[in-house]
C-alpha cells in the first residue's frame, strides 16, 4: 500500500513538474498513468484539466475538473479552477456558483475575485462587482486589472467620484493604458469635470489612435464645452474604429456617391441620412435649411416616423424613409453625408446658430383641431404639456424624474396639463391624482411612439411645454414652442445643452433649468420648485 501510494505521489509530482515546464504531452502521460492506478485521485484529475485547458480542449478541461470537484467537493483550489473553466466555456451561472463555493471554502485568489466581479457586471449587479473587485485590490495592491475593473464597476454602480480616484491609481500602475484613461474620462464626465474628461480621452486617443471610441469621446466632451470646431472634427470618429470595438460602431453607407467634405454645392445634389435617435435627427434637421440654400437638390433618408413632418417642412427636398433603399446610385446625388455631421460645416461657432421661428412644421389642420379641443377642456386656463422621463439607453435613468416630484408644477393654479410622456403612464397619472390632486389629461388620440405627425401637432397646440431632456423637447423646440427643460447635472446632460447656459443655441424658444447638484431627489424637487415659481409668475403676468 505504501509503495503504491509513493508511486502515485511520484507520478503526480512528475506531472506537475511537466505542467510547470509547459510540457503538456509529457504531463498528460504521467497524469493518465496516475489515474489508471488511482481513478479517484482528485489532484490527478485537476492536473489533467489544466493540461486540457492549455491544449485548446476546453470541454475536456471542464469535464476533468468536474470529476476532481466531485471527488473532493471541499477543495478550494479545485472549485476555483472549475469556476474559471466554466466561465471560459460560457456557462456563467455554473461558474459563479463554483467560484463562490471556492471563496466560501477559503480560496483567496486574485483571478477568482476578478472573475466574480466580471460575472457580476455581466448580469447587471454592479454593486456586487464592486465588492469582488475590492477584494481583488486587497489581495494585490499592485494589480492594474483589479484597480481598473473596480473603477469601471464603481461607474456602473453610480459612484463616479470614487471611480475617478481608483482609476487614477490604475493609471499610476500603467500610464500607457488607453482603457484606464478612457474609463477615468468617463468617470470625470459623469461628475461634470468635462475639461478633465477631454484630457483623458485625448490621452487615450494618443496611446491608441486606431480606436475610434477615444476620439469620439473627445468630440462629444469638447462639443459640450463649446469648443465646436475641435468637437465636430473628433466626433466624426464615431464611424471609424480599426480595433476590437469595430462591431459596436456606427456604419457609414457605401460609396458612391462620395462623402461631402465642404465642396461647393452649386448645381450639385446631396444625400443626407439619419444615423442616430429621433431626437438627434430633429436637432440636426435644423441645419438642413443651410444645405437647401446651397444645393441644387437634396434627398433626406429619415426615420419612418419623421417622413411626413420632414416632407411638409422641406418641400423642395425628396424625403425617403429609412430602410427602403439599398443603394443610392439611382438618386442622382453628387455627395452624401450623415445628417449628424452637418454641424462640422455649418455650426463651427455659436455665431453661426441662427435664431429661427421653427424649422419643422406640424399639420395646421391637426394643430387647430387639438387647440380647439384643449381650449374647451382647459376652460380659460393656460395649456401646458408635461413630460418627465427619458428612454435613453445609457443616460435614461439620470435624465428621468419621478412625476410625483412635480408637485410644485402640477399644483399651479390657472394651468391645465396635458401628458406628453411617451409610453404607458396610466399608473403614474393615477398616482399623482391621488397623492397631489393633480389632473394631467391623457389624449387617447395621440401616440408619440406610433405617429409623430400627430405628436408634432399636439405639441404645437400648447402654450408651454415643461419636460426633462427627451424627444418631446426636440419636437417643441424645432417648432419654436415655448419650452422649459429640466436638466440633470454632470454627464446625464447631453452635450448639445452645453454647460451652465440658460438658453439653447439650437432652439431659441427653450429655457434651461439645471439641477443645483447631481443626483435624484431632492435635487429634482429643488429644480422643479424653481420651475414652479416661474410658472406661477408666467401664468400671473404672461
CATH number at residue 71: 1.25.40.10
- List, edge to edge, every strand of the sheet that includes 297-302: 318-321, 297-302, 269-273, 335-338
Q: Rounded distance, CA 129 to CA 152, Å?
A: 9
Same-domain status, 412 and 510: yes
In terms of residue numbers, what domain contains 30? Answer: 1-107
Residues 387 and 399 sit within 8 Å (Cβ to Cβ): no
Could you list the beta-strand ranges (E) of 303-403: 318-321, 335-338, 382-387
Same-domain status, 513 and 368: yes
- How many domains does the chain divide into? 4
The reply to whether 51 falls in a domain is yes
The reply to whether 203 falls in a domain is yes
User: In this structure, what are the phi and psi dihedrals at residue 416, rounded to the nearest 5 degrees?
Assistant: -120, 125
Q: Which long-range contacts (CB under 8 A, 24 or more apart) does 4-10 make?
A: 4/37, 7/37, 8/34, 8/37, 8/38, 8/41, 8/44
Nearest to 68 by CA among 58, 56, 77: 77
Q: DSSP secondary structure string, 116-171? A: HHHHHHHTT-HHHHHHHHHHHHHH-TT-HHHHHHHHHHHHHTT-HHHHHHHHHHHH
Same-domain status, 386 and 311: no
Which stretches of the chain score pLDDT less than 50? 1-3, 242-249
Residues 49 and 85 sit within 8 Å (Cβ to Cβ): yes
* Per-residue cell: 132: 469582488
Q: Rounded distance, CA 527 to CA 521, Å?
A: 10
The reply to whether 144 falls in a domain is no
- Cell 412644421 locates to 361
Q: By three-state DSSP, how is residue 418 classified?
A: strand
Encode pLDDT of 344-390 as tens digits.
Answer: 999 999 999 999 999 999 999 999 999 999 999 999 999 999 999 87
* Per-residue cell: 301: 433618408
Same-domain status, 198 and 279: no
Same-domain status, 389 and 440: yes
The reply to whether 313 falls in a domain is yes
Nearest to 405 by CA among 518, 312, 303, 524: 524
Same-domain status, 373 and 348: no
Which of 227, 243, 259 is the endpoint of a domain? 243
Which of 329, 352, 375 is the endpoint of a domain? 352
Residues 174 and 183 sit within 8 Å (Cβ to Cβ): no
Same-domain status, 386 and 460: yes
The reply to whether 119 falls in a domain is no
Q: Rounded distance, CA 142 to CA 138, Å?
A: 10
Q: What percentage of the chain exceeds 90 in pLDDT?
A: 80
Residues 269 and 298 sit within 8 Å (Cβ to Cβ): yes
Same-domain status, 46 and 180: no
Q: Rounded distance, CA 131 to CA 98, Å?
A: 18
Same-domain status, 343 and 403: no
How far from the centroid of its chain's Cα atoms is residue 137's Cα?
A: 27
The reply to whether 125 falls in a domain is no
* Per-residue cell: 370: 387639438
Same-domain status, 53 and 98: yes
pLDDT given at position 411: 92
Same-domain status, 64 and 186: no
pLDDT given at position 330: 59
Q: What CATH code is carried by the domain that includes residue 293?
A: 3.40.50
Q: How far apart are the first and last CA of the chain?
A: 100
DSSP letter assigned to residue 499: S
Q: Is the dihedral of CA 489, 494, 500, 504 positive or negative?
A: negative
Residue 272 burial (CB < 10 Å; 0-12/13-18/19+)? buried
Q: Rounded distance, CA 131 to CA 456, Å?
A: 47
The reply to whether 382 falls in a domain is yes
Which of 107, 130, 151 is the endpoint of a domain? 107
The reply to whether 488 falls in a domain is yes
Same-domain status, 461 and 499: yes
Amino acid at each position: 500500500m505504501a509503495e503504491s501510494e509513493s508511486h502515485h505521489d511520484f507520478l503526480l509530482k512528475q506531472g506537475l513538474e511537466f505542467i510547470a515546464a509547459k510540457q503538456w504531452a509529457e504531463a498528460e502521460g504521467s497524469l493518465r498513468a496516475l489515474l489508471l492506478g488511482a481513478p479517484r485521485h482528485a489532484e490527478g484529475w485537476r492536473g489533467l484539466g489544466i493540461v486540457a485547458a492549455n491544449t485548446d480542449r476546453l470541454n475536456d478541461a471542464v469535464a476533468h475538473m468536474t470529476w476532481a470537484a466531485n471527488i473532493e467537493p471541499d477543495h478550494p483550489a479545485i472549485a476555483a479552477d472549475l469556476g474559471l473553466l466554466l466561465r471560459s466555456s460560457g456557462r456563467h451561472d455554473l461558474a459563479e456558483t463554483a467560484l463562490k463555493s471556492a471563496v466560501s471554502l477559503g480560496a483567496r485568489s486574485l483571478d477568482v475575485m476578478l472573475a466574480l466581479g466580471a460575472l457580476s457586471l455581466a448580469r447587471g449587479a454592479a454593486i456586487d462587482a464592486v465588492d469582488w473587485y475590492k477584494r481583488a485590490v486587497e489581495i494585490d495592491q499592485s494589480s492594474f486589472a483589479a484597480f481598473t475593473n473596480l473603477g469601471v464597476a464603481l461607474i456602473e454602480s453610480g459612484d463616479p467620484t470614487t471611480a475617478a480616484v481608483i482609476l487614477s491609481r490604475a493609471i499610476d500602475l500603467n500610464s500607457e493604458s488607453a482603457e484606464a484613461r478612457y474609463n477615468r474620462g468617463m468617470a470625470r464626465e459623469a461628475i461634470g469635470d468635462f475639461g478633465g474628461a477631454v484630457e483623458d480621452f485625448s490621452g487615450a486617443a494618443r496611446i491608441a489612435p486606431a480606436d475610434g471610441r477615444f476620439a469620439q469621446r473627445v468630440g462629444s466632451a469638447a462639443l459640450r464645452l463649446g469648443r465646436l470646431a475641435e468637437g465636430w472634427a473628433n466626433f466624426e470618429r464615431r464611424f471609424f474604429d480599426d480595433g476590437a470595438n469595430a462591431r459596436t460602431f456606427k456604419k457609414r453607407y457605401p460609396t458612391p456617391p462620395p462623402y461631402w467634405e465642404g465642396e461647393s454645392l452649386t448645381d450639385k445634389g446631396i444625400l443626407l441620412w439619419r444615423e442616430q435617435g429621433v431626437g438627434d435627427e430633429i436637432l440636426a434637421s435644423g441645419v438642413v435649411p443651410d444645405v437647401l440654400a446651397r444645393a441644387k437638390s437634396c434627398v433626406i433618408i429619415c426615420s419612418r416616423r419623421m417622413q411626413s413632418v420632414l416632407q411638409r417642412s422641406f418641400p423642395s427636398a425628396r424625403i425617403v424613409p429609412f430602410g427602403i433603399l439599398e443603394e443610392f446610385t439611382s438618386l442622382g446625388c453628387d455627395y452624401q453625408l450623415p445628417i449628424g455631421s452637418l454641424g462640422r460645416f455649418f455650426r463651427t461657432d455659436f455665431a453661426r446658430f441662427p435664431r429661427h421661428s421653427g424649422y419643422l412644421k406640424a399639420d395646421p389642420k391637426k394643430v387647430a383641431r387639438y387647440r380647439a379641443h384643449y381650449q374647451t377642456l382647459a376652460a380659460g386656463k393656460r395649456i401646458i404639456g408635461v413630460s418627465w422621463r427619458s428612454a435613453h439607453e445609457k443616460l435614461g435613468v439620470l435624465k428621468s424624474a419621478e412625476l410625483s416630484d412635480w408637485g410644485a408644477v402640477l399644483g399651479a393654479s390657472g394651468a391645465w396639463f396635458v401628458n406628453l410622456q411617451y409610453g404607458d403612464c396610466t399608473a403614474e397619472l393615477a398616482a399623482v391624482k391621488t397623492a397631489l390632486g393633480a389632473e394631467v389629461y391623457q389624449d387617447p388620440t395621440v401616440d408619440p411612439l406610433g405617429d409623430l405627425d400627430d405628436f408634432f401637432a399636439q405639441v404645437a397646440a400648447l402654450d408651454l411645454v415643461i419636460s426633462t431632456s427627451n424627444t418631446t423637447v426636440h419636437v417643441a423646440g424645432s417648432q419654436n414652442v415655448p419650452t422649459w427643460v429640466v436638466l440633470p447635472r454632470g454627464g446625464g446632460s447631453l452635450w448639445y445643452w452645453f454647460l451652465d447656459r440658460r438658453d439653447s443655441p439650437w432652439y431659441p424658444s427653450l429655457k434651461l433649468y439645471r439641477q443645483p447638484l447631481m443626483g435624484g431627489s431632492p435635487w429634482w424637487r429643488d429644480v422643479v420648485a424653481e420651475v414652479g415659481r416661474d410658472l406661477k409668475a408666467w401664468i400671473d403676468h404672461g
